[in-house]
A and B are shown apart, each in its own frame.
Chain A
């Protein structure tokens, strides 16, 4: 299998070109999970760290052929190394462990996970797929300042957040083998990419504002038609006969918690547009993606682990933006009030 070029994808029509917009998109005062880092657009792309442990030459930086993008300052793209480029030896073993954790977090990072999800559920193709916040492209942007916690975050700290929020679990301590392995895997995938540059396909696509205001009821219809077959009528997901989760839950006690990036409607709309329904990414209209993201992010899920005092106070501190429904009343329910507890680490298995 050869490397997967991080390039603009063909459905990009309705999607705001990412490149330099990596910055604009993050100007929203958000629970924004993306680093607030000016896209280093004007700078010449620096090559990745040179002490790459493999002797093989890095893949050449590919220029994208998209003609409409001339005005965008950054259109840097690169091809993450192929799986077969993982070297032998202790470094390669760590890369492989990281990949295994990313692909099957349930079994390989037990004790830090509190729901039925895997990292790869939201970062498709084991973190390689463009427009699903690919891991290599993310590595290139750290350390970074994040408004989510108000300081410069190392990559490990960013990973800790994923466990606490997206995985509804608990953060592995710094330099825990789980974090070291994930960091090593991300570093491997970043090889050949320019540091400090938001490359093509990084993050999730930022969709243009919807033509009509996003609507819960229309979203429910989109959900029934395009999503329920796999994720279940109640968003609960589905397991196979051996008890393994096949279709991950989108809400409820076994899904990501209220603090997670996917709980922001803009992130969810971008992810869904690019990647869902599984295998049919890019087939929904932007409007459908906004509507169904609104529907999904208006359902109860585990409490925000940063909860302080009350739902109202927690909204004020962490969710005070149009892209979060936390603390608002939807269909007569005050979202956040009856949330199941967060951080319920899996004890079975």
Chain B
């Protein structure tokens, strides 16, 4: 009796371990289907490689990551690097790896700091937008500190500036059409290249997590 329970428990535990290992395994070694190891570009801890425009994945919302992987698969998000990789993932593998990265908490990757003037101009745009052109501030959807909201509005704080620039340019070019209600396409269409550079620099400069609440602001 005891050995049966023990056996079942052991089986159960190894199944969980296998599931957990899957995400880690895919990230480190790729898949038998031919997907390249994610960590070679997105970093060992999902922190990304800012200078190359390989985005940070650690701590992004799980549904957001799944939505992006599905978008690469169905072509509503075009990218020569990511599309073949995602094509090689099964439905289950997509879910597994999305959960793996969503649960990660990696420190921010080192990046060359941008010019303070660019960061300041970006901060202004992020806070107050460019309403004469009908463009809201980025923070009105992504949160004042760029931490993101729910499953739909991704965190931008601490993300690679090169990646943010690429993302905005791909909306402008029509290579990314996966945003709900066309919200980001509309925003990107109103941005000029200087604004894109500045706002990307600003978001890269921010910490990836909410600062701990100071004691006197506790409820």
Stretch in contact with the other chain, from B85-93, B94-102, B129-137: B129-137
Stretch in contact with the other chain, from B72-80, B145-153, B164-172: B145-153
Chain B 154-190 interface mask (CB, 8 Å, partner A; 1/0): 0100000000000000000000000011110011000
- In the bound complex, do residue A242 and residue B131 qualify as a contact, i.e. CB atoms below 8 Å apart? no
Residues of B within 8 A of A279 (CB): 134-136, 141, 183, 186-187
Could you tell me the distance between the alpha carbons of A239 and B187 in the complex, rounded to whole angstroms?
A: 21
* Interface presence of B140 (CB below 8 A): yes
- In the bound complex, do residue A128 and residue B181 qualify as a contact, i.e. CB atoms below 8 Å apart? no
- In the bound complex, do residue A278 and residue B210 qualify as a contact, i.e. CB atoms below 8 Å apart? no
- In the bound complex, do residue B143 and residue A128 qualify as a contact, i.e. CB atoms below 8 Å apart? no
A-side binding surface: helix, strand, loop or mixed?
Answer: loop
| In the complex, number of A-B residue pairs with CB atoms less than 8 Å apart | 72
Residues of B within 8 A of A242 (CB): 143, 145, 147, 210-211
Min CB gap A216→B, angstroms: 23
* Interface presence of A244 (CB below 8 A): yes
- In the bound complex, do residue A4 and residue B131 qualify as a contact, i.e. CB atoms below 8 Å apart? yes
Q: Which of B109-140 touch A at CB < 8 Å?
A: 124, 128-132, 134-136, 139-140
Residues of A within 8 A of B130 (CB): 1
Interface residues on chain B, number (Cβ under 8 Å):
34
* Interface presence of A26 (CB below 8 A): no
Residues of A within 8 A of B131 (CB): 4, 124-125, 128-129
Could you tell me the distance between the alpha carbons of A238 and B187 in the complex, rounded to whole angstroms?
A: 20
Closest A residue to B211 by beta carbon equals A242
Could you tell me the distance between the alpha carbons of A259 and B140 in the complex, rounded to whole angstroms?
A: 26
Residues of B within 8 A of A238 (CB): 149-150
Min CB gap A122→B, angstroms: 13
* Interface presence of A229 (CB below 8 A): yes
- In the bound complex, do residue B132 and residue A241 qualify as a contact, i.e. CB atoms below 8 Å apart? no
Q: Which residues of B contact A (CB under 8 A)?
A: 124, 128-132, 134-136, 139-145, 147-150, 152-153, 155, 180-183, 186-187, 209-211, 217, 219
Extra pairs beyond A1-B130, A278-B136 (6, CB < 8 Å)? A4-B132, A238-B149, A240-B144, A241-B210, A244-B144, A277-B181
Rank and list the top 9 A-B pairs by shortest CB-CB distance, nearest first. Answer: A240-B143, A125-B131, A242-B210, A241-B147, A348-B219, A279-B136, A240-B147, A246-B149, A4-B132
A-B contact pairs, 23 of them (CB 8 A): A1-B124, A1-B132, A2-B132, A4-B131, A5-B132, A128-B131, A238-B150, A240-B143, A240-B148, A241-B147, A241-B155, A241-B210, A244-B143, A244-B145, A246-B140, A246-B143, A278-B141, A279-B135, A279-B183, A279-B186, A280-B181, A280-B186, A348-B219
